Amino acid sequence: MTNTFAFDHVQPVRSDVAAKPAAQHPQSLLDLPHGEARQSLLTVHSILETKLPSGELSIYEAGGGSTSFLPLGVLRRAHVTVVDIDEDQVNNNDYAQKTILGDIQTHRFPKGSFDLIICYNVIEHVPDVEAALSGFCEALKPNGMVLIGAPNPRSLSGIVTKYSPHWFHVWFYRHIRGDKNAGLPGHAPFPTHFHPLVSLPNLEAFAARNGLQMIYRKQYESPRYPEMRLRKPLFAALVDAGAKVLNFLLPGKTDVRQGDYHVILRKH
């Protein structure tokens, strides 16, 4: 979809409308607390805006659900196709031009279909990440990019999420994050699998074997920490203290709070 603005009629400008600047950032970014996650997403946006071709874009959101993390300037000139396995998520989607109820592990598009594939907060939920990523490689145009946002399995939150039962994730979302809809049909948290390719070194090796260059890689403090510090300061202080102890005991400059990452891969 290309944005065109027609100025056929000159309307008197209402002062309240004139005072409102056009939205620059998606709600998903504005909802992130100030911190490393938001900063990295802003960097991702500027890379996408600089490196994507001009004109109309063809974008595939794998497991797109009902929220997009794309910059609005990109979204406004894109034809977006969403594939999601959850019917409620597909029905709640209001930004894609095309929605497909399907499985990203098996759904295939013709070769060279997309300028950008985005898979955000999804690969940790997928049992066969290799099958999904192989489909992305095929579906990308030359020089096309894949944006992946995922939890870091080698972090404190990654390990807790990986080894705790699903009911605990629902409890955390409801009582610590304050999300009353958590666990209801079509609402997070979704069951997690943590396939080995979710870990950054494995993902990087897969990319190199499959003709993809990692042009951006950033591990950052999970937005859950600043969220917790605001909502549940006592609980957050306990978790922060635990993280400090682990950082002290672990070798190197490990920060176990770096619970998430962004990666941008580019097809050669």
Ligand X SMILES: C[S@@+](CC[C@H](N)C(=O)[O-])C[C@H]1O[C@@H](n2cnc3c(N)ncnc32)[C@H](O)[C@@H]1O
Q: Kindly list the residues in this chain that would bind ligand X in the complex (CB under 6 A).
A: 63-65, 67, 83-86, 89, 103-105, 120-122, 125-126, 188, 190
Q: Which amino acid is located at 187 in the chain?
A: H
Rg of the chain taking only CA atoms, in angstroms: 20
Using the minimum distance from each CB to ligand X, give the nearer residue, 130 or 240.
130
Q: How far apart are CA 245 and CA 243, in angstroms?
A: 5
Q: How far apart are CA 93 and CA 49, in angstroms?
A: 23
Using the minimum distance from each CB to ligand X, give the nearer residue, 48 or 104.
104
Q: How far is the CB of 128 from ligand X (least distance, A)?
A: 8
Asked if 44 and 213 touch (Cβ cutoff 8 Å), the reply is no
Q: How far is the CB of 68 from ligand X (least distance, A)?
A: 8
Q: Rounded to whole angstroms, what are the CA distances from 78 to 55, 70, 251? A: 9, 10, 45
Q: How far is the CB of 132 from ligand X (least distance, A)?
A: 7
Using the minimum distance from each CB to ligand X, give the nearer residue, 65 or 153.
65
How many CB atoms neighbour CB 184 within 10 A? 11
Q: How far is the CB of 69 from ligand X (least distance, A)?
A: 6
Using the minimum distance from each CB to ligand X, give the nearer residue, 120 or 206.
120
Q: How far is the CB of 65 from ligand X (least distance, A)?
A: 3
Q: Which single residue brings its beta carbon nearest to ligand X? A: 65
Asked if 33 and 226 touch (Cβ cutoff 8 Å), the reply is yes
Asked if 84 and 90 touch (Cβ cutoff 8 Å), the reply is yes
Using the minimum distance from each CB to ligand X, give the nearer residue, 46 or 91.
91
